[in-house]
Amino acid sequence: MKIAEASDKPEVKGIPMSTRLPRRPEPPAEKSGETGSNGSAPYGAGPSSSAIPSVSGTSGPSAGTASTTATVEPPILPPPSRKVLTMKKPMRAGEFAIEKSIQGVAFISLLFIALIFIFIFREAIPLFFSEVKAAMHQSQVEEAETYGVDPTAPEIVEAPELEQNQDNFHPKTLVSKNWQPVSLNPQYGIVPLLMGSLKVTLVALLLAAPIGIFAALYTSNFAPKWAKESMKPIIEVLAGFPSVVIGFFALVIMATLLQNLFGYQFRLNAFVGGVAMALAVIPIIYTVSEDALNAVPKVMTEASLALGATKWETAFFVILPSATPGIFAAMILGFGRAFGETMIVLMATGNAALLTIALTDPVRTLSATIGAEMAEVVFGDTHYRVLFFVGALLFVISFSLNAIAEFFIRNRMMKKFKGI
């Protein structure tokens, strides 16, 4: 960006003629690209690099080499700052390519998001529009013949194959309170799953928000320089912690510890999951609120201190309220993370689709349900579609939460400070 701007600035015109000359014929060289650059080399490089013509002549393919040799020439060597400019300028062809490819990459990531969006919805939507699926044709097929069976061995009597009622899906069942997808009478009530996700998220936020926000307040206002410099990276490392490790830790150690501490009945439950989730959410809330607190203009702190407020009063009554929108954004982002996180809840919450209020009951979350069931589901089945619907729901929720955090709250905060 900067380089491109610099090349358009007027001071470029101050560069001695001999170094500017090779630039003039550049456009045709750029257009002809890799194939034609050799032809332009003697044309552009000729006048300036007469001291070492052989070098510029043979290493012609890139225009960059030609003018690098030009700047080496002592009499017309520009001052150091200009030298940087002249060295960068010949890179324009490459620059252009780099800029375009970066742009391409940026658009590809956008494209991916759009494609994921389309794919998830495309898989989920037939749930509501396709006609009732015909029950699978179950004609009486003969048994397979057996081989190598010992006739003297006692027979194992297995239950006859039970038939599944496939054809009773109605969108209304999505709001029932039973999640029994692998059943002879499948029920796809996602209410208990939604409740489970909310319970875990609530616990996680209740724990992570105060810790994250106060830690951010400490580092941005009170911490000595060394603490500031070490605390931030350390907490941020926690964000890169693999969630499966946190989940395993919760499953094996935290669950027993917390059960012994509080004496509730179920070892794995929403509370354990929420506590483990808090570990994953703290760094997010911390980082974003720290940025928000740091964005509060120094003038406000100084004004507050000048008016006689103590450091604590300044932090709590001036800086914290000013950063509220940013902190709110941090909490929303934390909420989104907790809502969508899969591995921790899969391991630590017990995965029972119960619709209860108590935080110490096992729960099954939306994300864990997809994680646990997607692998074995029949392609194109109702169960498959319902899981995609759950995925779409998660997508919409986290997408809108992130959008709210990004567009509304941050913008509001920025506007607030613009006048200062």
Residue in 231, 352, 397, 404 binding other proteins, rule: CB under 8 A? 352
Residue of 141, 261, 306, 357 interacting with other proteins (CB under 8 A): 141
Under rule CB under 8 A, residue 138 binds other proteins? yes
Closest-CA residue to 40 (of 16, 64, 73, 19) = 64
Considering the rule CB under 8 A, would residue 17 count as an interface residue with other proteins? no
Which one, 34 or 161, has the nearer CB to other proteins? 161
What is the distance between the alpha carbons of residues 229 and 231, in angstroms, rounded to a whole number? 6
Q: How far is the CB of 145 from other proteins (least distance, A)?
A: 6
**SS3 label, residue 260:** helix
Distances (CA, A) of 31 to 26, 103, 349: 9, 20, 61
Residues 235-294 that bind other proteins (CB under 8 A): 251-252, 256, 265-268
373 binds other proteins, rule: CB under 8 A: yes
Q: Judge whether 280 and 347 are in contact, CB under 8 Å.
A: no
- What letter represents residue 99's amino acid? E
59 binds other proteins (CB under 8 A): no
Residue from 8, 34, 131, 155 binding other proteins (CB under 8 A): 155
Contact between 350 and 370 under an 8 Å Cβ cutoff? The reply is no
Residue 180's beta-bridge partner residues? 187
Positive or negative, the Cα torsion across 375, 380, 383, 385?
positive
Minimum separation from the CB atom of position 180 to other proteins (A): 5
Binding of residue 324 to other proteins (CB under 8 A): no
The window from 2-10, 66-74, 282-290, 368-376 that contacts other proteins (CB under 8 A) reads 368-376
Other C-beta atoms within 10 Å of 254: how many?
A: 19
Measured CA to CA in angstroms, residue 125 lies from 119, 135, 240, 381 at distances of 10, 20, 35, 13
Q: What is the C-alpha separation between 71 and 48, in angstroms, rounded?
A: 9
Q: Which residues, in sequence order, are bridge partners of residue 187?
A: 180
- Closer CB to other proteins, 131 or 143, in the complex: 143
CB nearer other proteins, residue 19 or residue 369:
369
Q: Is 182 in the site for other proteins (CB under 8 A)?
A: yes
Does residue 146 touch other proteins according to CB under 8 A?
A: yes
- Two tokens at 163? 């038939």
Q: How far is the CB of 159 from other proteins (least distance, A)?
A: 4
The angle formed by the CA atoms of residues 365, 210 and 309, to the nearest 5 degrees, is: 160
Q: CB-wise, 141 or 306, nearer to other proteins? A: 141
Does 154 contact other proteins by CB under 8 A?
yes
Residues in contact with other proteins by CB under 8 A are 136, 138-150, 153-156, 158-159, 161-162, 178-185, 192, 251-252, 256, 265-268, 346-347, 350-355, 362, 364, 372-373, 375-377
